[in-house]
Amino acid sequence: MTDAVTIGRGRLTARFEAKGAQLTSLTQDGVERMWQADPAVWAWHAPNLFPIVGGLKDDRLRHKGKSYKLPSHGFLRHTVCDLVAHSAAACTWRLTDSEATRAAYPFRFILEIDYSIEDDALAGRWTLVNPGDEPLIASLGIHPAFQWPLQPGRAREDYRLTFERDEPEPIRRISGKLIAPDSEPTPVQGRVLALRDALFDTDAVILDRPASRALTYGAPGGPVIAMDWHDFPHLGLWTKPGASFLCIEPWQGHASPLGFDGEFEDKPGTVSLAPGAKRHWRYKIRPLDAF
């Protein structure tokens, strides 16, 4: 079993671990852009989320009248994946259903996560396949944590997100581990979200109807992270107030609405794959020198 691999091309180098196929490092000319997982603050770098994003009521998945224990964000981030391909600038990880996964999630699946370095960007692609004989219901997402600030000594309040389009729609918030029933006015002014710790005093900022599928993160005159996520319909933003990271999280799905206790197939944000079907989700992370 391979515990970790590194890929690189040009100015970029990325490192991944087998547990959860997690991105643990992304450097540009040797300069780290990812949060380095302080266990005393938050012990992850960029966990991959499957087969749910966020939480379920009482951590229970309900399917065909049965109830299954499934904790927040699912089991992928805790599970060792198989490395099925590795070259200088790319790697592919695979997770398939097993007796252990079916005890928490009663579906057949094949999940592959491909990473490659293309044109100074780290490209990720998820492929979900249904090898079973009933519909495969799932949510999934990424949870990368970038350094905040990206430049040592720079004030955190200098940082902002700039979306590709105006974002006028209300945002959603978390109540406990579930989506609160009432929305809030968006903190995005036009295309720009000024970052400050107070944004996250009540947990994540959730854009469940974002107009954008791309943004930049940075401070004027300093290094920048550009992201796009064209196949993911939802976006979460999160940190622990005062922690030196910012999570920018494209999702397919989100936590259950507060009070929802129905069948998993009826949970908002899930997708359904017919037997034999497959679906892809893609994103890119591109470190840049400056705005």
Domain ranges of the chain: 4-288
Q: Is the dihedral of CA 94, 97, 98, 100 positive or negative?
A: positive
| Cα angle 209, 164, 283; round to 5 | 75
Retrieve residue 132's tokens. Answer: 């079973």
**Residue written as tokens 């920018």?**
248
How far apart, in whole angstroms, are the C-alpha atoms of residue 232 and residue 140?
Answer: 9
Full-model pTM: 0.97
DSSP-assigned states of every residue in 186-232: ---BTTEEE--GGGGTTS-EEESS-S-SEEEEE-TTS-EEEEE-TT-
How far apart, in whole angstroms, are the C-alpha atoms of residue 123 and residue 157?
Answer: 29
pLDDT average per 10 residues of sequence, the chain (291 residues)? 91 98 97 97 97 97 97 98 98 98 98 96 98 98 98 95 98 95 97 97 96 98 96 97 96 96 96 98 95 69
For residue 42, what pLDDT is reported? Answer: 97
Closest to 218 in 3D by CA, of 120, 154, 150, 145: 150
Retrieve residue 42's tokens. Answer: 């938050």
Retrieve residue 61's tokens. Answer: 């998945």
| The CATH fold of domain 4-288 | Beta-galactosidase; Chain A, domain 5 (2.70.98)
> In this structure, what are the phi and psi dihedrals at residue 69, rounded to the nearest 5 degrees?
-80, 120
**Residue written as tokens 């300093």?**
222
For residue 1, what pLDDT is reported? Answer: 61
CA torsion angle for 54, 201, 39, 31 (degrees, to 10)?
A: 100
Retrieve residue 59's tokens. Answer: 């951590």
For residue 2, what pLDDT is reported? Answer: 77
- Dihedral class, residue 14 (left if φ above 0, else alpha if ψ from -120 to 50, else beta): beta
Where would I find the beta strands (DSSP E) of 11-109?
12-17, 22-28, 31-32, 48-49, 60-63, 66-69, 82-87, 90-96
Q: What is the CA radius of gyration of the chain?
A: 18
Counted residue by residue, the chain has a size of: 291
How far apart, in whole angstroms, are the C-alpha atoms of residue 62 and residue 210?
Answer: 28
**DSSP for residue 120:** T
